[in-house]
Structure 1
Amino acid sequence: MSLSEDHFTTTGQFTKKVYRDVYPDIDPTSASLSQEGKIVIITGASRGIGKLSLATAFAKANAKAIVLSARNVADLQSTEELIHEINPRIEVLSAKLEITDEESVKSFFDQIKAKFGTADVLVNNAGLFQSEGQFVQSGLLETWWHDIEVNVKGQMLVAKYFLQLLGSEKEGMLIGLSSAAAFMVAPGASAYSLAKLADLQLTRYISVENPNVTAISFHPGIILTDMHDDARGFRHFAKDTPELAGGVAVWLCTKTAAFLNGRYMAVNWAVDELLAKKEEIIAGDLLKIQLGGEFGDAVIHYM
């Protein structure tokens, strides 16, 4: 029996309502979601979520400037054009970035500092899933490890230099792209799943180690992008619109969403219900990686 196209959306739902398209509470053109005056950095902005979801949403939200990155700067031209079609007043800086190369990351942030002095928001979006079908016992190590390196090392390096750019006083916002795959066991997807699980904990560490930074892990939904062309088994489920992820990303950058600091959110969840559950989420320490069971009061013997 084939699974419904909503299978992964409903099995992972935390709110009674779930969405697969943008709705008024997360409309980036809303005055309550305005990003006016903010400098926003988007990695992996030449295609897919970075281009169609994030760049467009922050343009609609009237960001002061948007910094775009990709491995090839020429690939960012169409994203720049898309931003300026939406909002011609936004200043755009496009720069080359190889997220696993520390010198490249350092150079990228040096350019941002020289141009703007600082930044306000980082959407740590760049990543990949090339190891589909790579089983532990038979997979190619190079392919398997490449997913880990790009998705974990890459996010760490970009976060490192963003935090250094901010310093210890300036408030900042970091959205780390994770995935519901972090909580699943899908045979042949171990590298991607492990990487996204690590990204969840990385974002939590950032939130704890940097009191001036709000850091939230973000599952962008299942959108028909190049990544799902690689992972063909997920094409059937890819019914989330790019606008949904973009709207939620902008909403996460508001003070209203700050209670999700150090936590995970899927774009499909209804934000009004999350706000209604705010006290429950905080009191129960929910939406974080936890080990289930009853622990404590053990007698420990040291030999």
Structure 2
Amino acid sequence: MPFRQNVLITGASSGLGEEMARQFAALGHDLALCARRTDRLATLREEILTAYPGVRVVTKALDVTDDEQVFTVFEEFRAELGTIDRVVINAGLGKGAPLGTGKHHANRQTAMTNFIGALAQAEAAMTIFRAQNSGHLVMVSSFSALRGLPRQMATYAATKAGVAHLAEGLRVELHGTPIAVTVLYPGYIVSEMSEGATTGNRLMSSTTRGVTAMVSAIEKEKARAYIPAMPWTVLAPVMKRAPVPVFKRML
């Protein structure tokens, strides 16, 4: 696999994005990090530069629901670093409520961030990659994308299925070209988004373990990967094929 020197990560101020930045820096990658919380990005930048003085780290504010800002920030990163070799579309939101319960605003916000925002990021990344005729697009989906989920997870799961299909379509289009596409399907991993769901959950992975599996799959440029592989690779067929009465009891 080619060494993708300059890695752009969205949603890098916390959770999976923050830990990915640390682990990519440890591998010698230069970083373009963006998120809304620039104070946290600044702290992360200083931490990485102290640990890995030879790594370049550029940070910028980014709200992924602002299409114009997405295109501007991605291009600014490209101009500053010379190339963008890999884009990890990681920024996301986990708000949600059962449909028809008066909380459309929460579901809409999740849909706008997770899908429309990801669409803008993919557009911006692919604009750069097509011009370079090289690059690696990484879409962080979710294990929940494998099947529609009920209640407060319905919209979230739908958005993650949407981004996975977006990436899968790009992979077919780009097959045989110098542009690679990876879709990650994380299971339960400790992060800000999973806060409150960790107690008593034996399937929950630590942030470090989960992100190590993510970074490994990304570095290998796998087409798709369940994260961590165990137990989620084994559970994937069950998730997809269990009859509805059985599936409902599992949740």
TM-score (norm. length: structure 1): 0.69
2:154 aligned residue:
190
1:112 aligned residue:
77
Q: In the aligned structure 1, how far is the partner of 2:61 from the partner of 2:204?
A: 31
Mapped contact 1:228–1:235 kept (Cα < 8 A): no
**Per the alignment, in what secondary structure is the counterpart of residue 105 of structure 2?**
helix
Structure 1 residue 199: Cα displacement:
1.2
**Per the alignment, in what secondary structure is the counterpart of residue 167 of structure 1?**
helix
* Letter in structure 1 aligned against 2:172: V
Structure 1 residue 122: Cα displacement:
0.9
Structure number with the higher helix fraction is 2
Equivalent residue in structure 1 for 2:113, among 136, 150, 153? 150
**Per the alignment, in what secondary structure is the counterpart of residue 227 of structure 1?**
coil
Q: In the aligned structure 2, how far is the partner of 1:247 from the partner of 1:34?
A: 19
Count of paired positions: 232
Equivalent residue in structure 1 for 2:124, among 161, 181, 186? 161
2:248 aligned residue:
none
1:220 aligned residue:
186
Structure 1 residue 169: Cα displacement:
5.4
1:135 aligns to 2:95 (yes or no):
no
Q: Percent identity?
A: 23
Mapped contact 2:217–2:225 kept (Cα < 8 A): no
CA displacement, residues 50-78 of structure 1 (integer Å, 9 cap, x when unaligned): 112x0111011111x10000113222012
* Letter in structure 2 aligned against 1:66: L
Q: In the aligned structure 1, how far is the partner of 2:132 from the partner of 2:34?
A: 26
Q: In the aligned structure 2, how far is the partner of 1:55 from the partner of 1:34?
A: 19
1:61 aligns to 2:24 (yes or no):
no
1:82 aligns to 2:80 (yes or no):
no
TM-score (norm. length: structure 2): 0.83
2:166 aligned residue:
202
Structure 1 residue 175: Cα displacement:
1.4
CA 1:60–1:220: 2 relative to 1, 3 Å: farther
* Letter in structure 1 aligned against 2:75: D
Higher relative contact order (CA 8 A, sep 6+): 1
1:177 aligned residue:
140
2:211 aligned residue:
246
Moved more, 143-152 or 83-92: 83-92
Q: Cα RMSD between the aligned structures? A: 2.6
Unaligned segments of structure 1, at least 5 residues = 1-32, 275-285, 292-303
